[in-house]
Structure 1
Amino acid sequence: MSKTVPNTSINDATQKDDEIDLIALLLTLLRGWKTILTCALLGLALGFTYSRYVQPTYQTDTLLQIDEKSQGVAALGANISELVGEAKSQAETERELIKSRMVLGPVVDKLHLDLRISNPEIGALDRIAQSEIPTQISTEQGVFLDTKNGEAQITSFEVPLAYLNKPFTLVKTDKGFELSIEINEELTQYSGNIGTPTTIATPEGDIKLSVAALPSAGHPISLTKLSTPSAIDALSEKLSVSERGKQTGIVQLTLTGQDQKQVSRVLANVVQSYVDQNLARGSQQTTTTIEFMESQIPQLKQKLEQSEEAFNKFREQYGTIDVSKEAELLLTESSQIEQQLSELQLKQAELLTYYTEDHPLVIQINDQLAVLNARRQEIKDTVTRMPEVQREFLQLSQDMEINREIYLTMLKNYEQLKIARAGEIGYVRVVDMPINTYKAIAPKKLQIWVLALLLGTMLGTLLVFLKSLLRNTVKDPERLEAKTGVPVIATIPRSKTSFNLSKKKDSNRRLLAMVEHDGLSYEGIKSLRTSLMFAMPKVSKVATVLGSDAANAHKQGKVIVISGEAPNIGKSFISSNLAETFSQLNKKVLIIDGDMRRGELHKIFTVSQNSGLSDYLTESSANLSEFIHPTSFEFIDFMPRGKHPHNPASLLSTEKFGNMMAQLIDIYDYIIIDTPPVLAVSDAIITAQYADKVLMVTRYNSSIEGQLTYAVRQMNKSNITVDGIVLNDVVQGITDKYSYHYSYAYGNSKD
């Protein structure tokens, strides 16, 4: 029985790769700490600016209690209220009613919320500089705006439909004010007087404006008349209505704005408008009944007076008549029937106000009326059989009593309903009225600052990752060797002293031997010198190019061409210091500034750039020794770049340059040529034809891997072998994953 043994090596390798990737990501962030910090500080600055730009927002709230039962007609007792029924309201329904035009419309009209005035002279910088900008105040008397040049007060403003929601400009003049509006890029101006109502005739209709005060002359005020729907919508957006808890019947109204007193004033008016609407809605039943009674009472009174007048005339004519017992009983019963009929007819009239003829209550009352009418007809038939005088007396007496009962009953109910309406309070109770807290709810500056700082940090992190993905800089020598196929023969650490001197515009560049002779950078240059000494070919490339005779005379390689893929990578730094280290071996060294366009080696050796390489190659009869200058170093001579020629590459391709190189190898032990970048011009490729060693200088964490690789390929396409890469300006730190390539100095002790 065999067992399968898990391959732990693969898992360990995968885990190790994941750890390396995570470490690489962390190191990428650490290397980009400056970018992340800059973005974080920039985000914090933007957050601070935004918190200053946004004006403070204040809030106020109120609580309402919604009762479930109405107290309207119930004050009359069971007689009428039981016929009308109960009115119920829920918080969800009331919430929608509060934000309706029925409630908010009167508030907009009362407080002139459809008028908007602002100061156009307030700009973004003013909002940032000032912690709080004065805002519009709306009251029943008009709208107000305080400015540093005076107060603006508009009492009323009515415009035609065509001018709604369009801004006007008000400016104070010596005679009054000037009102202007821009329509279709045409400015139209009107004038008026301050302190008196003004009517302005326009093609679209009359503008009615009443201005009480304006800022001083020359300082405009922007004025806009909003349409009623726009003003109501603006108020509704700032008004929040919600129920406290679930099925509690407690509704909370919250209003926000930029002025605490204004917010409380508006919300108080919203509450009052809602309460008024609610009270009117709750007393509608009582009001309808009272209106019906008010229309019936005069008629009943007139009918009673007529019956009394007829009865009195009859008594005057016939005197008092002794009605028999039977007549009295009939009269009593008839009176009761008529009273019942009157009450039922009143109930029927009230029910028909709310229901149709087919309602069960209406049908029930109709049936009762039919029974009573039938009995009344029987009594009338009985009375008809009585003597004529008795019958007439009975009839008049009956009419008078019935009319009196009906009138008194109607008058009693009317007075009761008036008392009930006076005591009605609706089914909404104001629990808490709005109060001024003077505590801004926005902007929440601390939260804005923290959020802005986090967003800035996230943006900086994203930029670092994008930069790392899109711009692979030179960091890892092993990766560089794998991509280019060229060995990294030296890593030159950064010299802090030389780096600081290079930042000073008025300071000449100085060699490491003069400023930091015991530093890591100098030791790196010496290491490069050692590598080149033992790797120089036995046969000079110049001798090979120029012919066999030169090859027999000069067998040892001497020419070193130093180039790079782009400017500002330290070619001149490497060339000059390498020449100085060779001179320490008592070797006669010539350093040539082969960059005839932008060479700056003359600044390092403090030699004039004139009378150099370009001058020698352009002059037909020139003595080479006149263009080579001694330096402050005993074994170093220097040929500057000379005057800027029009065709540097063509000059390097001439036979004269080759002959110059043939002469120089007879004189010097080492010739170092500093050439322009490979990707910029072809000078380095032409010069490298005579080189015994071709070096590519690249800058740590600055040069692009792809550019360096492409530069090496360009050299290879021209049959030039790049012998080594010099990784310059290496900085060691906790973020350097490949710091083991860093050299260590073994200098003299300071003790």
Structure 2
Amino acid sequence: MNTDSQNTAKNAVEKDDDEIDLMALLFAILRGWKIIVFFAVLGLIIGVLYSRYVNPTYKSDALIQVEEKSQGISALGSDISELIGSEVSKAQTETELIRSRMILEPVVNLLHLRIQLSDPNIGALYKIKSSNIDTQINKPEGVSLKTEDGEVEVSQFNVSQNYLNQPFTLTRSATGFVLSNGFDDFKGQLGKAHQFRGTDGQIHITVNDLPADGYAVNITKQSLQTTTDRVNSALSVVEKGKQTGIIQLSMTGNNQQQTSLILKRIVLSYIDQNQSRGSEETTKTIAFMETQIPTLKKKLEDSEAIFNDFRKKYGTIDVGKEAELLLGENSQIDVQLNELKLKKADLTTYYTDEHPLVVQINDQLAVLNARKQEIDNTIAGLPEIQREFLQLSADTTINREIYLTLLKNYEQLKIVKAGQIGFARVIDLPISTFRAIAPKKLQIMILAMLLGAMLGTMLVLLKNMLRNVVKDPERLEMKTGIPVIATIPRSALLTRLRKNKKSQNRLLAHADNNSLSYEAIKSLRTNLMFGMTTVGKVGQRAKVILIAGESPGVGKSFISSNLTEVFSQLDKKVLIIDADMRLGELHKMFNMTQDNGLGDYLAQQIALTTVIHPTTLDNIDFIPRGQHPHNPSSLLSGDKFEQMMTELNEHYDYIVIDSPPILAASDAMIMSHYADKVLMVTRYDQSIEGQVAYAVKQMNKANVQVDGIILNDVQQGLMSKYSYHYSYAYGNKQS
């Protein structure tokens, strides 16, 4: 290698640049606009297909007011309200109650919601083609589903436990229908109830109508839990605001009328349960009174008869003041005892004897009974006739008071029950608006397009981060420690010509001699001329330039051939050697064959003059790669290659060697010892910085100093941050 090579070149810089270049990221995104647009359009297409694939979703709403307490009984007086009590309900508790099976099960049974019909003939393409697919309709009369070949109508379908949640297939036959589960086939007639016995239990079914022959329909009987869970998943029950007592019920589904019907039935089921709950206590109390009234009436009649007989026998008896007081107190005690017994009988219908209210009443009864016993002992001291009169009179009075009190309360409770309502009332029943709430097609398409664009942007940035391609000459110099001595713009005209596979490879001098690319090659020639002003090795006339690259496809042959052409314009004798004996294609640039080349000379005993071929260009000779030898590196390391270079130095002013890629073979390291300048070609926006730096490092390990880097195929444009490297050119730019 020439001793005049730059001695100040530094080793490759190993550390990465940690600073984030926002402009570089922006330009990287702009350069990848095709990928971003592709994914945005792909997202838009997916959004359109999804919006057509999904059935429209409709919503129905209802409002219920829950009052804090019932006013029905308390409005009639404190006595009755004390007997019945009051009930307090919070809206939050009622929201959970509405979701319970107690409310939902009557709706499920009424509308046959456990029966599920589906059309297996509807595929994804059909859903996309048709924006709205018919869904099953549940009514008290049965379940129906429209298909392309007719309608399915089933009014009854009950199965045993083992058949629950198992799919069956219904198919019309010549005589009726066939019900199959894959193991058993059950045949029946349309419009008639049938009972079948299968391996897992009994099946009760009534089929009213089916599509045309051969059109199968799936039918399934779901379990109650599965159905209520499905209803709950579509049902929303919340309290509007805080402590308002207003409950909002919302339900979504694929059929507006069906959704409104189910929600309406849920509201009515809740109201019925609430009303029956509110009057349950009154009903039980009336029933208890109806059993007691005849008994008390008979007891009163018996006591009056005995008292009247006594008075007829003994006449009127004057009772003393003390006896009257005792009688009055005894009467009051008996009335209180009967009232307490009535309350106790009512409480024991709901609570056990250990309940605090029952225990409290028992204590009160014990106190009253003790006082009554004391009065009875006092009255026992009165004369026999007088005492008997008092006893009969007291019995009659007590029985009359008890009977009249119970009869009064009974009539009042009948009036209360007639006008009693629950503590919940319907404000708004659901109505059908026929306005779909989903899918929101425009929103889905915009969101899908934005997500696609975001994915495309992420892929562009990820690709930029992972590949870290060569784009910035300054950054490349910092990474490798080698100066970038030339940036070669892309020739638009030559690029268009290369797209035609039948077109032959052409030099810039012939295809685009007014381009920036050609001027850049000339600038590279000037740089090399001033860099090789001193005389080379002893006995050496020619100045040897080795053109290498880190990997294939970077444009070594393009640079080598065009650099040779511009050197020939100096009226200098130039030789270009295709030293890539494996895959070299430099012969195509000169419209020649690869025969009789370097590989043949090194592997065979032939004269050097037989492998040197003149070209159609003045002052340019060419040595093609020849036939592929089995050991190119060994041949280059031999004495024959050294003798060849010595002999060639005597006949040429410049020798350009196009070598194999550095990372693919060690040939470039061997030939670089015969070169005055070692240049590395790298391709803009394609070569990877890490590979270029590694190639330079490998050359340095072989004691080879790379003198400069040529950045090839640089593309100019608004999206290229570093287009200023070749934004000015002198002369005619017409292509």
User: Normalization by structure 1: what TM-score?
Assistant: 0.81
1:189 aligned residue? 184
2:547 aligned residue? 562
The answer to whether 1:440 aligns with 2:436 is yes
2:139 aligned residue? 139
After TM superposition, the structure 1 = structure 2 runs for residues 22-33 of structure 1, keeping only pairs within 5 Å, are: 22-33=22-33
1:279 aligned residue? 275
Q: Structure 2 residue aligned with 1:713, among 680, 697, 700?
A: 697
The aligned amino acid for 1:599 is: G
Q: Structure 2 residue aligned with 1:253, among 225, 238, 249?
A: 249
- CA deviations 1:632-675 (Å, max 9, x no partner) are x3443444444555444445445554454455445444332322
Secondary structure at the counterpart of residue 183 of structure 2:
strand
Cα 1:358/1:20, change in 2 over 3 Å: closer
The aligned amino acid for 1:189 is: D
After TM superposition, the structure 1 = structure 2 runs for residues 207-606 of structure 1, keeping only pairs within 5 Å, are: 207-297=203-293, 299=295, 324=316, 346=342, 349-353=345-349, 358=358, 360=360, 385=385, 413-536=409-532, 551-552=538-539, 555-606=540-591
Q: Structure 2 residue aligned with 1:727, among 706, 711, 717?
A: 711
Secondary structure at the counterpart of residue 79 of structure 1:
helix
1:681 aligned residue? 665
Q: Matched residues in 2 for 1:80 and 1:748: separation?
A: 113
Secondary structure at the counterpart of residue 439 of structure 1:
coil
Residue 525 of structure 1 and its aligned partner are, at CA, apart by 0.4
Residue 124 of structure 1 and its aligned partner are, at CA, apart by 3.6
Q: Matched residues in 1 for 2:159 and 2:120: separation?
A: 21
The aligned amino acid for 1:584 is: Q
The aligned amino acid for 2:672 is: A
Q: Matched residues in 2 for 1:569 and 1:493: separation?
A: 13
Q: Matched residues in 2 for 1:749 and 1:507: separation?
A: 23
Secondary structure at the counterpart of residue 79 of structure 2:
coil
In terms of mean alpha carbon deviation, does 116-125 or 490-499 score higher? Answer: 116-125
- CA deviations 1:716-744 (Å, max 9, x no partner) are 33343322211111223445444443262
1:692 aligned residue? 676
1:184 aligned residue? none
Cα 1:34/1:48, change in 2 over 3 Å: same
8 Å CA contact 1:24–1:737 kept in 2: the answer is yes
Secondary structure at the counterpart of residue 271 of structure 2:
helix
Residue 169 of structure 1 and its aligned partner are, at CA, apart by 4.1
8 Å CA contact 2:484–2:709 kept in 1: the answer is yes
Residue 403 of structure 1 and its aligned partner are, at CA, apart by 7.6
8 Å CA contact 1:474–1:703 kept in 2: the answer is yes
Residue 18 of structure 1 and its aligned partner are, at CA, apart by 11
8 Å CA contact 2:163–2:201 kept in 1: the answer is no
Residue 87 of structure 1 and its aligned partner are, at CA, apart by 1.1
In terms of mean alpha carbon deviation, does 563-572 or 45-54 score higher? Answer: 45-54
Cα 1:383/1:414, change in 2 over 3 Å: farther
The aligned amino acid for 1:144 is: S
Secondary structure at the counterpart of residue 513 of structure 1:
helix
8 Å CA contact 2:84–2:282 kept in 1: the answer is no
The aligned amino acid for 2:731 is: G
2:122 aligned residue? 122
Residue 502 of structure 1 and its aligned partner are, at CA, apart by 2.9
Q: Matched residues in 1 for 2:191 and 2:640: separation?
A: 97
User: Normalization by structure 2: what TM-score?
Assistant: 0.83
Residue 81 of structure 1 and its aligned partner are, at CA, apart by 2.3
Q: Matched residues in 1 for 2:403 and 2:569: separation?
A: 138
Q: Structure 2 residue aligned with 1:745, among 716, 724, 729?
A: 729
Q: Matched residues in 1 for 2:346 and 2:373: separation?
A: 20
8 Å CA contact 1:491–1:743 kept in 2: the answer is no
1:108 aligned residue? 108
8 Å CA contact 1:95–1:251 kept in 2: the answer is yes
1:58 aligned residue? 58
8 Å CA contact 1:563–1:676 kept in 2: the answer is yes
Residue 42 of structure 1 and its aligned partner are, at CA, apart by 3.9
Secondary structure at the counterpart of residue 732 of structure 1:
coil
8 Å CA contact 1:238–1:257 kept in 2: the answer is yes
Q: Matched residues in 1 for 2:240 and 2:380: separation?
A: 66
1:201 aligned residue? 197
The aligned amino acid for 1:683 is: D
In terms of mean alpha carbon deviation, does 520-529 or 691-700 score higher? Answer: 691-700
The answer to whether 1:90 aligns with 2:90 is yes
8 Å CA contact 1:675–1:683 kept in 2: the answer is yes
Cα 1:662/1:168, change in 2 over 3 Å: farther
Cα 1:206/1:247, change in 2 over 3 Å: same
Q: Matched residues in 1 for 2:248 and 2:102: separation?
A: 19
Residue 36 of structure 1 and its aligned partner are, at CA, apart by 4.0
The aligned amino acid for 2:240 is: R
1:7 aligned residue? none
- CA deviations 1:428-449 (Å, max 9, x no partner) are 1100111112222223334434
8 Å CA contact 1:84–1:351 kept in 2: the answer is no
- CA deviations 1:93-146 (Å, max 9, x no partner) are 212211222212222222222333333343344434432333333332333333
Taking only the aligned residue pairs, the percentage that are identical comes to 55
Q: Matched residues in 1 for 2:186 and 2:583: separation?
A: 70
Residue 562 of structure 1 and its aligned partner are, at CA, apart by 1.4
Cα 1:350/1:489, change in 2 over 3 Å: closer
1:10 aligned residue? none
Secondary structure at the counterpart of residue 206 of structure 2:
strand
8 Å CA contact 2:169–2:217 kept in 1: the answer is yes
Q: Matched residues in 1 for 2:387 and 2:620: separation?
A: 165
8 Å CA contact 2:159–2:203 kept in 1: the answer is yes
Residue 362 of structure 1 and its aligned partner are, at CA, apart by 6.5
Residue 565 of structure 1 and its aligned partner are, at CA, apart by 0.5
The aligned amino acid for 2:711 is: L
1:9 aligned residue? none
Q: Matched residues in 2 for 1:350 and 1:76: separation?
A: 19
Paired residues, what number? 707
Q: Structure 2 residue aligned with 1:703, among 662, 667, 687?
A: 687
Unaligned runs of 5+ in 2: 1-16
Which has the bigger relative contact order, CA under 8 A and spacing at least 6? 2
8 Å CA contact 2:64–2:427 kept in 1: the answer is yes
Cα 1:736/1:96, change in 2 over 3 Å: same
The aligned amino acid for 1:513 is: A
Q: Matched residues in 2 for 1:244 and 1:238: separation?
A: 18
Q: Matched residues in 2 for 1:202 and 1:383: separation?
A: 88
Unaligned runs of 5+ in 1: 1-16, 182-186, 545-550
8 Å CA contact 1:72–1:282 kept in 2: the answer is no
Q: Matched residues in 2 for 1:481 and 1:649: separation?
A: 30
Cα 1:609/1:430, change in 2 over 3 Å: same
Q: Matched residues in 1 for 2:102 and 2:29: separation?
A: 60
In terms of mean alpha carbon deviation, does 267-276 or 453-462 score higher? Answer: 453-462
